[in-house]
Amino acid sequence: MSLPPASSKKSEMTFYILTLFPKMFEGIFSQSIIARAQTANLVKIKIINIRDFGQGPRKNVDDKPYGGGKGMVLRVDIVAKALKTLKPKPYLILLSASGKKYDQKMAQMFSKKQSLALICGHYEGIDARAEKFVDGVISIGDFVLSGGEIAAMAIIDSVTRLVPGVIHPKSLSSESFSQISNLLEYPQYTRPKEFQGLKVPKILLSGNHQEIEKWREQQAFKRTKKYRPGLLKKF
């Protein structure tokens, strides 16, 4: 998937990552499509260390939860100070296991923003009052991570590839969750034609593109029924 000609690119999109662990992002954005998008000035990624806004000589950013409980909670006033430095104001997202589940539709919506800020929670989470300062609270799935950093990586990757100019539109149109039908993508094959008794379907070797398209539509439906049957309700 190569970058398209420069004439199709739009103005640069900026991602802000607010985190307590900036080193987790070292190297992750220096490879593949995200690296090429940055080189082409299509996206910019800025990492803000929340601890820089901490209090006292130890730069404290958290405290014990009111009402008791284990662990520490990230303070809302610390987060608010960090957010004030983001100008012009970006679209703000708080990453939390209790947030709305992230999907391709959200990725498409985010890709149209000029700037997007992702707040990575950690410890036992962030003071709930922080939700009043953001545009949305998002989870990448029904499971718990140690913090929002990995979720931020996933969101930036999924959004970057949708930013105009990063990938040719034709390469995106048939991907899982990107189709109008909402089906998973059809199975793909390449050389060798046979491996350990497993053969490439004959239809793909026929050269009959009309029949190949029909086969791919059928396979997309079968694949969705097998792996994600819940999507067929939308279909």
What architecture does CATH give domain 174-233? Answer: Orthogonal Bundle (1.10)
Going from N- to C-terminal start, the domains of the chain cover 6-160, 174-233
User: Considering the entire predicted model, what is its pTM?
Assistant: 0.86
Q: Residue 25's pLDDT is what?
A: 96
Q: Residue 169's pLDDT is what?
A: 81
Task: Give how far Cα 117 sits from Cα of 13, 170, 191, 233, Å.
Answer: 11, 28, 42, 33
Radius of gyration, CA atoms only, the chain: 21
DSSP 21: -
Residue of 26, 20, 80, 25 lying closest to 51 (CA atoms):
20
Q: How far apart are CA 121 and CA 99, in angstroms?
A: 12
The highest-level CATH class for domain 6-160 is: alpha beta
Q: Residue 182's pLDDT is what?
A: 77
Percent of the chain with pLDDT over 90: 82
* Tens digit of each residue's pLDDT (9 = 90 or more) over 131-148: 999 999 999 999 999 999
Q: How far apart are CA 174 and CA 169, in angstroms?
A: 10
Q: How far apart are CA 228 and CA 226, in angstroms?
A: 6
